[in-house]
Amino acid sequence: MSLEVACLSFRQPYATLILNGVKTIESRWRPLLSELQNCTLAVHIAQQSWEGESWRLILTERHGMTTKQTEELLESGERFGRGVIAGLVDVGETWCCPEDVPHEEMRELETAACLSDLSLKYLTRISNPRWLNEPIGTRGNKDVWTVKIPVQLLPTASVSQGCAFTGGSYPM
């Protein structure tokens, strides 16, 4: 028996930051996750790493993490390797970040996203991160796709709002 859910690939370190609850806002240039509000999303760890290191500065300066804590967090995120579905997260509201957000509010959004320069990007709240019991090796995709997760790999209470998918395409 398996559960069908939507899945999205994330580059490291963002997959780790999401699944460890550090990153609570996902940003994209289009409203990719808007149709998945109140649903569970599988997190696929992409083969490639994110280009750039601005996330490190946000972790140290805004999250107050030491270099050692950051490295330990990154190592924990590699426990399943790459090219795998590693966990689940619940999808919340999606909105377009306006250009005129007050400085302090923008700083809070950037801290939650572990990324700067969010103006005009689509932001989505994500919550309730949890690692699968074991990874599922699979190739990633540039858009949302459907995956089947065997129930024995699901952590306890893993599906939010009873929202599962029966397949098909997702509105982009």
DSSP state of 77: T
Q: What is the pLDDT of residue 51?
A: 85
Residue 166 burial by CB count (10 A; 0-12/13-18/19+): exposed, middle or buried? exposed
Closest by CA position to 41, among listed 152, 112, 119, 143:
143
Q: Is residue 106 part of a domain?
A: yes
Q: Is residue 162 part of a domain?
A: no
Q: What is the pLDDT of residue 165?
A: 45
Q: Is residue 142 part of a domain?
A: yes
Q: Is residue 171 part of a domain?
A: no
Q: What is the pLDDT of residue 169?
A: 35
Q: What is the pLDDT of residue 134?
A: 96
The tens digit of pLDDT for each residue in 75-114 reads: 998 999 999 999 999 999 999 999 999 999 999 999 999 9
Residues of the chain with confidence (pLDDT) below 50: 160-162, 164-172
Q: Is the CB of residue 135 less than 8 Å from the CB of residue 81?
A: yes
Q: How many domains does the chain have?
A: 1
Q: Is residue 166 part of a domain?
A: no
Q: What's the CA gap between 146 and 135, in Å, rounded? A: 16
Q: Which amino acid is at 161?
A: Q
Q: What pairs with residue 12 in β-bridges?
A: 49
CATH code of the domain in which 31 resides:
2.30.130.30
How many other CB atoms are there within 10 angstroms of residue 101's CB atom?
Answer: 15
Q: What is the pLDDT of residue 168?
A: 40
Q: Is residue 167 part of a domain?
A: no
Q: Is residue 158 part of a domain?
A: no
Q: Is residue 168 part of a domain?
A: no
9: containing domain: 2-153
pTM for the model: 0.88
How many other CB atoms are there within 10 angstroms of residue 106's CB atom?
Answer: 18
Q: Is the CB of residue 43 less than 8 Å from the CB of residue 104?
A: no
